[in-house]
Each structure stands twice: as structure tokens, then as C-alpha cells.
Amino acid sequence: MSAVVAPPAPAGGVVAPGRRRRARHWWTVVAVLAALTLAVAVVSLVVGDRVYPLGDVLRVLTGQDVPGASFTVGRLRLPRALTGVLVGVAFGIGGVVFQTMLRNPLASPDIIGVTAGASAAAVLSITSIGLVGTAVPVVAVAAGIGVAAAIYLLAWRRGVHGARFVLVGIGVGAMLQSVVQYALTRANVYDAADAMRWLSGSLNSAFWEGFPQVAVPVLVLAPVAVLLARRLAALQLGDELAAGLGVRPDRTRLALIVVAVGLISVATASTGPIAFVAFLAGPLAQRLVRGTGSLVVPAALVGALLVLVGDLVGQHLLPARLPVGVVTGVVGAPYLLWLLARSDRSGGTL
């Protein structure tokens, strides 16, 4: 927008093209990520125990009746792929919002206990109270927000410092994890293997029946997060500057936390905590866009891509079928260690 009113000084001639170049880079990255996500989603519709040709898959998608493929692709693989995309988007956005807001790539919700809060609430409400349907995500979201608030308050001592927030979160997370295990040891409805699968995050229960419970909240909250992203960028300049730019820091932060925790909790209630997706999406997106724009959209796409690829690998490339969370956990942890090894005291910034 400033290209038109660029001052005659030589700086103007440098700034405007630079800005255009960065915008172009950002759009290229987003377009490539979106195309990749679509491609992987299509692959996940095509391959499986039985491989259907692309034509059959496209015919199913346009609503035609193809014997065999209509059931396998339309009823089994399509909800699985769509759930994977939505959950990945939710984890990606939730993670990057926390990491950016706390200015610490390690402060992602799966490390600081928010995810554990949502899964504890979900497991308890399923096994102990016997809730079903839409009530589960509602409880999970409430618990997730409650846990985030509790960590924030416990870490508060004349202001919240990132390191203290993270450590308190680790403690709270450990406690909630043991609540999850308690719920599972008490529940006889769960077969132990099923329980483990859910705990490590899996798309195995992704069918059309449960789809609206994850689709509606994610489709509402994700655009809100994208809209708030601009204010998130202003917040990063510091509270005073943000206020000068017309952003109310406290209100914006509250809105961002609610949206991010909501996304994380809905996704966790749907598939279980898929390890490290929320943690990995932000830093990976940052390496791709290289500071040329908001991280929220790229991180959402990276999250979707991680879940889809992880599920494909877990389902088809390994000798045994493994839930996606195991794959992302094994891949994500070394990256976290590497990040730690090269970070400074505070863990660096995002």
C-alpha cells in the first residue's frame, strides 16, 4: 500500500520492492504448502489395503456411485483424511499462537500441559461420567481453558516469565497425565491396546458420525485465529507499541488464548493428543516463510501436512499399523532436542 506514496528518498525504492518480494515469497510458500496438503490428502484416499485408481476416487468425490470405492473411499478414507487435515490445522494454529505469544518455541501446548488437560477431561468424561457426542469436546475445551488459566495464575509472580510458565506447565502436565492414566486403569470398557492407541493420538475413530464435532469448531475458530494474527504481530512489538497501533494488549491476548486453547482441545477430544504436531508446526513454518509474514496460516498447513503424512507412514509404510501420534512423536522429539541443544538460556524466540 505504501508503494504509491513512497518518498523520493532512495530508501523508498528499496523498501517497496523488498516488501513486494517478501509478500510474494509468503504467498508462494502458502500456495506450495496448500498444494502439498491437497496432494497428500488425495494420496491417502487412493492408497490403502486396496488401491483405487484416481478416476474412481474423483468419481466418488463428485457423488457418483462406484462399487466398492464408494464405501472404502467415501465412508472410511474421506472422513479420515478430512479429520486429519482439520486436526492438523487446529494443532498447528494452537501451537504457533502459544509459541509466538510466549516468545518461546518450547512453550507449545503439548509440552506445557494444555493438551494433557484436554485429554484428561475427555478421558474422564468418557470413562467415568459416560458422556457421548458433542458433550465431550465441550468438556475438553472447558478443561483446556481452565488448565491454561491455572498455569498462567500459578506462574504469575509480578508478571509472567516464559521460563517459569513452561516449568509450571511441565509440572501441571505431569499431574494431569497421571489423571489420564488413573482414568484408564479404572475403565474396564477400554481394552488396554485401544486405550494406548487413543493416548498416543490416532485417526482410527475418524468417521462421518463424529465429524461435525471437530469440523464445526475448527472451521469457526481457525478463521478467527487468522484474523487475530495481525494483532498477534503487533503484540510481539511489546505492549506499549501494540497499544499505540490500536491493539488492546490484554484483550487481544485473552482472545488469542481462548481461540488457541479451543482449537487444541477440540482436536485433542477428537483424536487424542497427537504428539509434537503443535510443537513442530510453528518452527517449521518459520523456517519456510523466513519472517516474510504471519506464521498462522503456514503453521496450520504444516500441521495438516504433518498429520496426513504421519498417518500415511503409520498406516502403510511400517511393518505394523501404528497410530499417527507414535510416528510424529518419534520424529518430533529429536527435533525438540536439537532445538534445545542450539538454543540459548531462554530457549530462543520464534
Minimum distance from residue 165 beta carbon to other proteins (Å): 9
Distance CA 72, CA 59 (A): 13
Distance CA 253, CA 89 (A): 20
Asked whether the CA dihedral 100, 102, 107, 109 is positive or negative, the reply is negative
Nearest CA to 308 among 80, 55, 58, 109? 80
Minimum distance from residue 83 beta carbon to other proteins (Å): 20
DSSP 130: -
Distance CA 107, CA 74 (A): 38
Cell of 320: 505394523
Q: Is 111 in the site for other proteins (CB under 8 A)?
A: yes
Q: Which residues contact 150 (CB under 8 A, 6 or more apart)?
A: 172
Minimum distance from residue 126 beta carbon to other proteins (Å): 18
Write a three-state SS string for 161-208.
Answer: CHHHHHHHHHHHHHHHHHHHHHHHHHCCCCCHHHHHHHHCCCCCCCCC
Distance CA 185, CA 197 (A): 14
Minimum distance from residue 266 beta carbon to other proteins (Å): 22
Q: Is 260 helix (H, G, I), strand (E, B) or coil?
A: helix
Minimum distance from residue 263 beta carbon to other proteins (Å): 20
> Nearer to other proteins by C-beta: 79 or 201?
201
Q: Is 343 in the site for other proteins (CB under 8 A)?
A: yes
Which of residues 132, 241, 317, 337 is near other proteins by CB under 8 A?
337
Distance CA 243, CA 113 (A): 30
Nearest CA to 135 among 213, 218, 202? 213
Minimum distance from residue 80 beta carbon to other proteins (Å): 18
Minimum distance from residue 163 beta carbon to other proteins (Å): 4
> Nearer to other proteins by C-beta: 102 or 256?
102
Contact 59, 283 (CB under 8 A): no
Cell of 16: 517497496
Asked whether the CA dihedral 158, 295, 347, 305 is positive or negative, the reply is positive
Q: Is 283 in the site for other proteins (CB under 8 A)?
A: no
Cell of 38: 491437497
Q: Is 80 in the site for other proteins (CB under 8 A)?
A: no
Q: Is 103 in the site for other proteins (CB under 8 A)?
A: no
Q: Is 282 in the site for other proteins (CB under 8 A)?
A: no
Cα angle at 106 between 94 and 246, to 5 degrees? 55
Q: Is 336 in the site for other proteins (CB under 8 A)?
A: yes
Q: Is 106 in the site for other proteins (CB under 8 A)?
A: yes
**Near other proteins by CB under 8 A, which window of 61-69, 88-96, 162-170, 226-234?**
162-170
> Nearer to other proteins by C-beta: 155 or 266?
155
Size of the site for other proteins (CB under 8 A): 52
Which of residues 12, 48, 146, 171 is near other proteins by CB under 8 A?
171
> Nearer to other proteins by C-beta: 57 or 87?
87
Q: Is 203 in the site for other proteins (CB under 8 A)?
A: no
> Nearer to other proteins by C-beta: 104 or 292?
104
> Nearer to other proteins by C-beta: 79 or 332?
332
Distance CA 327, CA 306 (A): 10
Which of residues 4, 5, 9, 193 is near other proteins by CB under 8 A?
193
Per-position x/- string for 112-151, each x denoting binding to other proteins as judged by CB under 8 A, each - no binding: ----------------------------------------
Binding stretches for other proteins (CB under 8 A)? 106, 111, 154-155, 157, 161, 163-164, 166-168, 170-175, 177-179, 181-182, 185-186, 192-193, 196-197, 199-200, 275-276, 319-320, 322-323, 325-326, 329-330, 332-334, 336-337, 340-345, 347
